Amino acid sequence: MANSTASSTSRSTAFAYVALAYVAAIAAGIGAAYLYRDAGWHPLVLVLVADVVATVVIFIFSFIFKNSSFYDPYWSVIPIVIVAYFAWLGAGIGDPLRIGMLVFLVSFWGVRLTYNWVRGWTGLHHEDWRYVDFQRTTGKWYWLVSFSGIHLFPTILVFLGCMALYPAMVLPGRALNALDVFAFLFTFGAVLIELIADEQLHRFKKIKKPGETLTSGLWAYSRHPNYFGEVSFWWGLFFFAMAADPTAWWTIVGALSMTLLFFFISIPMIDKRMLKRRKDYEQIMKRIPAIVPWFPKKG
């Protein structure tokens, strides 16, 4: 009982530090944007500056506590702040229903993804295995790698993905149309796929045997259905931008960047790790598609 209480207290304290980090980061970001509000900068530039400032604050906490997983919730927390800011800017300018749909979708996605991280993070002793590998391979250069690769690089990617929100919410674009309906259903479906995949994985981890791989449910049709949902979410935001303003095609850079990240970095890293840890994974890779769900091959 004593050990259980100590573990619970330790975890509660860890989350208190994380909450403090994000309050400080968001406050610093808002402060930076407020400081330059009259400089004539484009709203996207202001968001980028605030984003980078907030990232630096989170990095400071990561460095102090020697745990780069302080950054992990950033991916899903900051877009909620960004969509709220764009909703405020777009009030009376953008289509109110489109704005409402995006606030709902981004908030639903962000809260759910953050919760999924919260229930899987066990405390200050728990750090993402990828960061541990980076630390082992980069040695004394690790914190430079952590700032540039673990903190700043994902921040830039998320910012690129969120750029689609600007023409969709802030500019006086087209009235609500059929593409908006498609974009809403597509994006909502993407979040549901990610939710279901994460729930199936969460339940599986509680009952799995050593070395066993999840190959049922959505995981029977894709080795990484949660990643498929994540990539699809960012494409959904791009579709909203197209619905509001077809000339905002340049915002495709966000969805493309996310697609390249998962296809060429995230998935290969996980597959390589699984091949080392699971005897059956080589056969699973031959049968089940990497990300886009499809019927598995026989044999």
The predicted-structure confidence for 70-128, as pLDDT tens digits, reads as follows 999 999 999 999 999 999 999 999 999 999 999 999 999 999 999 999 999 999 999 99
Task: Answer yes or no: are the C-beta atoms of 68 and 128 closer than 8 Å.
Answer: yes
Report if residue 199 sits inside a domain. Answer: yes
Report if residue 177 sits inside a domain. Answer: yes
Report if residue 278 sits inside a domain. Answer: yes
Give me the domain span that covers residue 76: 2-287
Report if residue 294 sits inside a domain. Answer: no
Greatest extent of the chain over all pairs of C-alpha atoms, in Å: 64
Quote the pLDDT of residue 6. Answer: 42
| DSSP letter, residue 4 | H
Report if residue 120 sits inside a domain. Answer: yes
Task: Answer yes or no: are the C-beta atoms of 204 and 225 closer than 8 Å.
Answer: no
Domain count, the chain: 1
Task: Answer yes or no: are the C-beta atoms of 68 and 147 closer than 8 Å.
Answer: no
Amino acid code (one letter) for 30: I
Report if residue 50 sits inside a domain. Answer: yes
Quote the pLDDT of residue 209. Answer: 86
Radius of gyration of the chain (CA): 20
Which residues fall within 8 angstroms of residue 209, CB to CB, at 6 or more apart?
Answer: none
Quote the pLDDT of residue 1. Answer: 38
What are the backbone dihedrals phi and psi of residue 209, each rounded to the nearest 5 degrees, phi first?
A: -90, 155
Amino acid code (one letter) for 265: I
The CA distance from 130 to 21, in Å, is: 22
Total residue count of the chain as it appears in this document: 299
The CA distance from 79 to 214, in Å, is: 30
The CA distance from 255 to 159, in Å, is: 11
Report if residue 299 sits inside a domain. Answer: no
Report if residue 43 sits inside a domain. Answer: yes
All residue ranges of the chain with pLDDT < 50 are: 1-7
